[in-house]
Amino acid sequence: MPIDKSRPGYNKGTVPDDGFEWLWQEAIPADEPNRPVKVATIPFGYEKRVLPRGWQKTPENMPLELDIIFEKDVEIGLRDGVKIYADIYRPAETDGKKIPILVPYSPYGKGGGGANLMDVVPYRVGVPRSRQSGLEKFEGPDPNEWCRRGYAIVDPNARGSFDSEGNLHYFGRKEGEDCYDIIEFVAKYDWCNGAVGMAGNSWLGIVQYWAAMEQPPHLKAIAPWEGLSDVYRDLCRRGGIPWAPFIKWVLMGIPGHGLQEDVAGMGEAHEFYDAYWESKRVDFSKIKIPSYILGSYSTMLHTMGSVRAWRDTNTEQKWLRFHPHQEWYEDYHYRSVDDLDRFFTRYLKGEENGWENTPKVRVSMYRFGEKYPLYDQVETDYPIPRTKYTKLYLTSNKTLQRSPSSETTVHSYDSTNGDMLTYDYIFPEQTTLAGFSKLKIFVSCQEHNDLDIYVMLRKLSIDGELMEQSNVPLHELSVKSVKEVANVNPTKYLGPTGILRASHRELDPKESTEYWPVHPHLRIDYIDPGNVVELDIGIWPMGIVYEKGEGLRLQISGKTMVLPEWDNPHVKHMEPNFNKGRHRVHLGDRYAESFLLVPKL
C-alpha cells in the first residue's frame, strides 16, 4: 500500500471519525540506516506448515518442545476495509479438544521479526535467547511455551505497521475497535473453543484496556502486564512537562507503508489536557471481564496505569501483583508464566482450578544492594489500607525530621546543569515504605517565570552511601554486585520519582487525596520572577524496606535524575531545555509546612 502523499493533511490533518486535529509523520522504512533501533524483516506472504518438535529458529534459540501448526500472514479484514496480517501458532495435537486463543497485539512485528529491544539492552535483561523459541513478538508470549500449555497464539501486526494496511494510531478507541474485529474473527475458527484472552506488556498491555472497553463477546479475560493508561500524565507530559526521549527512541521507529500518528509532536503541540488527551485516557468503568494486572516500581512508564487498572476496573474478578523485576524478565520467568497459566486456565479453559483463592493483591518490596527483594507479600487492597502517611519536614541543615523546622532559610541549586538539593532521614528502626509519596515545597526563581522540578527518593546504606537495585536477579547476570550492573533503567533502579512544571501546579480538589495530588493541566499559571509559590509534587509508588540505620535521601533538581532507557546519545540529548537560573527552596516561618509525605507500613 503506497504512501498517499496527496491525502489532505498529509503532515497535519483531521481524522474523519473523531474530528481531532492530529499530527502525522511518514513511516520510516525498515532498512533506514539511521533508524534508532534495527528492525528484522521477513518476506511477506501467506504460508502454512508444521514446525516439528526440535525445530530451532536459530542455533541460539530453544528447540520447540512440540509440533506447532504455523500459518504466516493470515489476512484479517477490519470494519473499515483495512486489511491486517497475523501469524497463527497452535499445537498440532490437542487430543480432540478445542483450545482458547491468546492475542498479543502491537506494531512491533511478529514471527520473530520486527524490533526486539531486548537485543540492545545489556544482558537481554536476564533472558537469554536459549530461554525463548524466537517466534515470540517483542513483549509477547512465546508460542512454544503457550502452545505447550494448550493455547493458540494469534499474533497480528497492528494497522499501519509492517505489511498491515492503514495508518498507525497510538492507543485509543481505533485500536480497541481493531482488536474487537480480530477477536471476533479468530474466535470462529473451528479449532477454537470460543474463548479469547489477551496477554503481553507495555504496548501489548495498554491495548488490552482499549480492547476490553469495546466489550467483544468472545474476549473472556485480559492480563495487562505493565500498561500506562493516561498518555498525557504517564508518557507525553508527566507533570505538564513535554517528554520525548523514550517516545522517539521506541515509538517513532516502527516501519509501515502509511502514516503514523506523531504522538511526540502532539505532546509539544497540545500543552493542556484537551479532547485529544481525553481520547487517550482509559475508561476503566467499561472493562468488566476478569483481569490479571501486573505492575512494578522500576518501569518509569506504567506504574500509575497499573494502579488505576486495579482501582477502577469494573469487576470483582481482578487481581493485582507488584513484581520486583524488569518487566521483560518477569514476562518469561517460569514462576510468572505458571501463575498466568492458572488465570487463563480458569477463564479461557473454564476449569475449576482454585484460581479465585489467589490473593487479590500481592506486593514485592525492594531491599537494594545484593539482597533479593521480598516477593509477593499478601495485602487486602492497594494502596495498602494499613498505611500510615507520615510527614518528614525539610530543615535548614538539609535533613528530614518528624516535626516542622522553626529556622528560616533558603536553599538553592542551579536548575540548568544537574545540580541538586538533598535532604536526609535516618531510620531509627526497621521500616517499610510502600505506596505513594508526596512533596510539598515552596519555591521561587529570580531568572524565569516558570520552573521544571524533578524529585527522586534514594536509599542510603548504614555508611551513608547511595544504594541501587538491580532489576534482574544478580545470578542471571555476569556480575556479582549491583554496582557492576549497567547504568540503564531497564537493568537498574535508583528510586521513585516525581515531576512538575510550576505553571501547572493547580490542583483538582475533587480528585486529589492526602497522598496523591492531581493536576488538571487546563491552564498556565506563570510565576512573577522572585515570587514564592507552593507546589504539591506526587511521587510514583514505591516498595522499599529500610533496616535500622539506613536512610532516605530526598533529591530535588532541575534535571531528570533517572537512568536512561538506553545508553545512547539519541536518547540523552532530547531532554527538555526549559529551566533558567537558580531555583530557590524556602523553609521555616511561613514555609514551615515543607514536607515529604511517606507511606509507612
Task: State the pLDDT at residue 541.
Answer: 98
Question: Across residues 316-337, what is the average pLDDT?
Answer: 96
Which phi and psi (to 5°) does residue 239 adopt?
70, 15
Using 50, 70 and 90 to split pLDDT, how confident is the model at 569?
Answer: low
Of 47, 79, 53, the closest CA to residue 67 belongs to 53
CA angle at 170 for the pair 169 and 174, rounded to the nearest 5°: 50
User: Distance (Å, rounded) from C-alpha 343 to C-alpha 316?
Assistant: 14
CB 104 within 8 A of CB 207: no
Instruction: Return the C-alpha torsion angle 37, 477, 296, 248, nearest 10.
Output: -10
Q: How far apart are the first and last CA of the chain?
A: 57
Using 50, 70 and 90 to split pLDDT, how confident is the model at 34?
Answer: low
Task: State the pLDDT at residue 119.
Answer: 87
- Beta-carbon neighbour count of residue 214 at 10 Å? 18
Task: State the pLDDT at residue 234.
Answer: 96
pLDDT digits (tens, 9 = 90+) for 148-175: 999 999 999 999 999 999 999 999 999 9
Q: Which three cell numbers stand for residue 399?
A: 535533613
Q: Quickly tell me which residue has 510539598 as its cell.
A: 440
Residue 210: alpha-carbon gap to chain centroid? 15
Comparison of pLDDT for 11 and 392, the residue scoring more: 392
User: Distance (Å, rounded) from C-alpha 138 to C-alpha 125?
Assistant: 13
Using 50, 70 and 90 to split pLDDT, how confident is the model at 570?
Answer: low
User: Distance (Å, rounded) from C-alpha 41 to C-alpha 257?
Assistant: 14
Question: Across residues 286-311, what is the average pLDDT?
Answer: 97
pLDDT over 50 (residue 13): no
Is the torsion defined by CA of 109, 114, 119, 121 positive or negative? Answer: negative
* Host H or E run for residue 598: strand 595-600
CA angle at 167 for the pair 164 and 170, rounded to the nearest 5°: 105
pLDDT over 70 (residue 222): yes
Of 481, 295, 282, 262, the closest CA to residue 370 belongs to 481
CA angle at 540 for the pair 122 and 545, rounded to the nearest 5°: 75
pLDDT digits (tens, 9 = 90+) for 352-389: 999 999 999 999 999 999 999 999 999 999 999 999 99
Of 486, 579, 436, 488, the closest CA to residue 245 belongs to 488
The mean pLDDT of the chain is 92
- The type of residue at 575 is E
Question: Across residues 390-411, what is the average pLDDT?
Answer: 96
The structure's pTM equals 0.94
Which is it for strands 99-103 and 152-156: parallel, antiparallel or unpaired? parallel
Question: Across residues 15-35, what is the average pLDDT?
Answer: 66
Task: State the pLDDT at residue 111.
Answer: 80
User: What would the CATH number be for the domain defined by 12-358?
Assistant: 3.40.50.1820
Q: Which three cell numbers stand for residue 245?
A: 526521549
Using 50, 70 and 90 to split pLDDT, how confident is the model at 12?
Answer: very low
Of 13, 489, 25, 40, the closest CA to residue 252 belongs to 25
Of 275, 300, 272, 232, the closest CA to residue 493 belongs to 300
Comparison of pLDDT for 325 and 300, the residue scoring more: 325
Q: Which long-range contacts (CB under 8 A, 24 or more apart) does 64-70 make?
A: 64/133, 64/144, 65/144, 65/148, 66/91, 66/92, 66/93, 66/144, 66/147, 66/148, 67/91, 67/92, 67/93, 68/92, 68/143, 68/144, 68/147
- Beta-carbon neighbour count of residue 449 at 10 Å? 15
Task: State the pLDDT at residue 460.
Answer: 98
CB 92 within 8 A of CB 71: no
Which residues on adjacent β-strands are paired with residue 199? 223
pLDDT over 50 (residue 1): no
User: Distance (Å, rounded) from C-alpha 533 to C-alpha 443?
Assistant: 6
**Sequence ranges of the domains in the chain:** 12-358, 388-600
Helices assigned H by DSSP within 418-572: 569-572
pLDDT digits (tens, 9 = 90+) for 235-250: 999 999 998 777 776 6
Question: Across residues 498-503, what is the average pLDDT?
Answer: 98
Using 50, 70 and 90 to split pLDDT, how confident is the model at 29?
Answer: confident
Which residues on adjacent β-strands are paired with residue 431? 546
Which phi and psi (to 5°) does residue 457 adopt?
-105, 120
pLDDT over 90 (residue 495): yes
User: What would the CATH number be for the domain defined by 388-600?
Assistant: 2.60.120.260
Whole-number Cα distances in Å, 199 to 53, 296, 373, 534: 24, 17, 25, 43
Question: Across residues 285-299, what is the average pLDDT?
Answer: 97
- The type of residue at 379 is E
Task: State the pLDDT at residue 5.
Answer: 38
Least confident of 31-45, 200-214, 325-339, 396-410: 31-45
* Burial bucket for residue 158 (CB in 10 Å: 0-12, 13-18, 19+): buried
Question: Across residues 266-292, what is the average pLDDT?
Answer: 96
CB 91 within 8 A of CB 150: yes
